[in-house]
Amino acid sequence: MNKAYITKCWSVALLAVVVSFTACLKDQGYEDGEYGTITGRTTGKKFISIPLAANRPNIVGVEAKPGFQDLNLFSFSYDYEKPAESALTVTVAVNVGLVASVDPTLEVLPASAYKIVSLTTNFKVGQVISDPFVLQLNTNALDPTKKYAVGFSITTVSDGVQMSSNLNDVVFAFTIKNKYDGIYAFRGRHDHPADRSATWLRTVYSYPYDIYLETTNATSVKMYNDAFGAGFHPLFTTGISGYGGTEINFEFDASDKLINTFNSPAVATTRQFVLNPAVTTSRYDVASKTVFAAILMEQTGFIPTPIYDTMVFVKARP
């Protein structure tokens, strides 16, 4: 996911929240009529809020990629009868305690995994929405199987402008996904060798259960089979089946060529998936969001089984 896309998505989300914000604000000062909104119909006190603080937490999907990437996390709202008449600043502090209070299952985002461009954000004259608050995230420092979160609280606002009492704290939870991550429809063929049952299917078949490809790092995904609730690669014999004992991981290069498979966890059966060296076209096709994988199932005591997978993207994982 690139920076422009993240910015666009958050801008749309922020505006949607701001639109609904005037109708659902539970700030006592607002309820008492002490201050107003950006509708221009009220003459109360000026105050600053974080509209996205209404979400507990905000979920942000981030593409796994090397190095730090900029995320425009949120903006502040200036609520008054008219836009800011002078430049304003809002300062926040990282509030680790907010994470557990929102969801105790979340991991606190490690300090080594992010940088903050500035804890202070500006309102220019005439603005009702501030410049974005930018966080730089390094997904390489994170375990994609976990969900991390960070919280922020407004500490000061310039020129004596009041801060909202209940839209002052905000939490963001990050899910790390690379571009191969998703839910796929699986179609395959197994060229079972002579030492396997003659009844086993050797023609192309469509698997009737979802196959998930789950991010393991910036360039690899592991398989998860919805039929078993585990990472079993589909295996058609006379019914729905799968190769147990190991989970295949697919690794791609910068041009989306499939360059490696590895297996997790290690298994005592010596069963493993490897790339088929006779096929050089295994890849991820960006245009159709399709993975083409020619692999071999190897196991001690058996002839390797050539397997040809076609996985077509259906939708993003939750």
In DSSP terms, which residues pair with 297 in a beta bridge?
273, 305
Tell me, what amino acid is at 247?
E
Buried b (16+ CB within 10 A) or exposed e, 211-235: bbbbbbbbbbbbbbbeeeeebbbbb
Phi, psi of 156 (to 5 degrees): -145, 150
Q: Is the peptide bond before 132 cis (omega within 30 degrees of 0)?
A: no
- Name the band, by pLDDT with cuts 50, 70 and 90, for residue 8: very low
pLDDT at 287: 97
Give the span between the Cα atoms of 198 and 195, in whole angstroms: 9
Give the span between the Cα atoms of 155 and 271, in whole angstroms: 57
pLDDT at 286: 96
On the question of pLDDT at 28 being above 80, the answer is: no
pLDDT tens for 43-86 read 457 889 999 999 999 999 898 888 999 999 999 999 888 888 88
pLDDT tens for 127-142 read 999 999 999 999 989 9
Phi, psi of 245 (to 5 degrees): 90, -15
Write down the pTM of the prediction.
0.67
On the question of pLDDT at 289 being above 80, the answer is: yes
pLDDT at 75: 94
Q: What is the mean pLDDT of the chain?
A: 84
